Structure 1
Amino acid sequence: MPRYVLTGAPGAGKTAILRQLELDGHVVVEESATDVIALQQARGVGKPWEEEGFIDEVIRLQQRRQGAVRSATAFFDRSPVCTLALSRYLGFAPTPLLADEVERVVTANAYASTVFFVRNRGFVEPTAARQISYEDSLVFEQLHEQTYRELGFRLVEVPAARLDERVALVRHAAERHIA
């Protein structure tokens, strides 16, 4: 069954789309980086993304979550390709674990080749895990787009719109892909 990725800039609305898909009965998988950040911040690390080992922690959690999804069509809030874009954004060379995982998911077609690219909404609301300016989020967005295209994924644009319109677009495109 297809495993779809939703990607885009921080604060673009990916999680809201996933929450609605989940309420509609679809299997969804949470974003790993946000959860790693939250746990590390709870342990007293102010900016975990600056710590050595952060990227590998994200990859390990993504691997566990991907392995837990068995037979249903699923929608993932980001993927290891996003983690590669994050690594590039942070100025880190890809770790061996990251490089191996990206190669694995690409060659094994672990995710659908169609990726939903959720465009920014024109602003970013800061959170404890999302400490990025709107301007920097645009750079991050462009880097995600470039990384997915470079690895051969087809991006389906999910423009800024009302939540119901965005969810309908994702649902419609996924149904067409499945059929």
Structure 2
Amino acid sequence: MKQKNSKLYILTGGPGAGKTSLLNELNKKGFMTVPEEGRRIIKEQISIKGDALPWINKKRFADLMFEASVNSFLKIDKLEEQPVFFDRGILDTIGYLKLENIPVPDEMKTKADTMKYHNNVFILPPWKEIYENDLERKQTIEVAQATFDCMNETYLEYGYNLIEVPKISIKQRAEFILNIIGNHE
């Protein structure tokens, strides 16, 4: 098993928990951030009238998400020496497949075992008060909770240390994370 990367941090959890807003705040503070691949893929598939959408072809959607996450990991791992924050990571695709009761291919398991992020993973719990649906997010708050539970289980299964980010302001959430990684302004 490869040593976990000390500079690549994951923000995970269910949909609508504030991951993107938190990622944007960390970016404003000067940190490199990598947006969620799922949203990009959904927007792209809608624009080309593709079927790799979570409400049409879940397996194809997961395959594209996994491929994009692996590519982002490889690109950033080679280039960056400062902390980088990812809105979801390689294991999120495995968690998604588990959530949807779709078998996880061995290739995905192997890559997840060898392509490691920092051992501390930041997980954002469902937060009903800020949860909103939009064109790319059609899940209910109940599905958001199930996704959170599945991501929690998946990251623990792969040996990561989960740190739950409290339900506080975006700025406070960013400071919470930066205090933990020991890198504040």
TM-score (norm 2): 0.86
SS at match of 1:161: coil
In the TM superposition, what are the counterparts of 1:145-160 in structure 2 within 5 Å?
145-160=152-167
Partner Cα separation in structure 2 for residue 59 and residue 101 of structure 1 = 10
Partner SS, residue 53 of structure 1? helix
Q: Which residue of 2 aligns with 1:115?
A: 121
Please report the RMSD computed on the Cα atoms of aligned residues, expressed in angstroms: 1.6
The equivalent of 1:26 in structure 2 is: 31
Deviations 1:104-129 (A, max 9, x none): 22xxxx20010001122225211121
Q: 1:55 aligns with which of 53, 62, 66?
A: 62
What is the aligned-residue identity percentage?
A: 23
Is residue 166–residue 173 contact of structure 2 (8 Å, CA) maintained in 1?
A: yes
Q: In the TM superposition, what whole-angstrom CA distance separates every residue of 1:115-161 from its partner, at most 9, and x where no partner exists?
A: 00112222521112111001111111111111111111111110211
- Structure 1 counterpart of 2:12, from 4, 7, 14: 7
| Alignment length (residue pairs) | 172
Q: Tell me the alpha carbon deviations over residues 12-45 of structure 1, each in whole angstroms, 9 at most, x when there is no partner.
A: 0011111011111001111111111111111124
> Helix, strand or coil for the counterpart of 1:125?
coil
Structure 1 residue identity aligned to 2:91: V
Q: State the secondary structure of the residue aligned to 2:182.
A: helix
TM-score normalised by L of structure 1: 0.89
Cα contact 1:30–1:76 (8 A) shared by 2: yes
**Which 5+ residue runs of structure 1 have no aligned equivalent?**
none
CA shift, 1:47, in A, is: 6.7
Q: Does the 8 Å contact 1:5/1:77 carry over to 2?
A: yes
Q: Provide the rounded CA distance (Å) in 2 between the counterparts of 1:80 and 1:65.
A: 9
User: Quick one: distance in 2 between partners of 1:126 and 1:116?
Assistant: 23
Contact (CA 8 Å) 1:158, 1:169: kept in 2 or not? yes
Q: For residue 91 of structure 1, report the CA deviation from its aligned partner.
A: 1.7
Partner of 1:93: 103
1:74 aligns with 84
Structure 2 spans left out of the alignment, 5+ residues: 1-5
Distance 1:84 1:40, change over 3 A: same
**SS, match of residue 148 in structure 1:** helix
Which residue identity is paired with 1:35? R
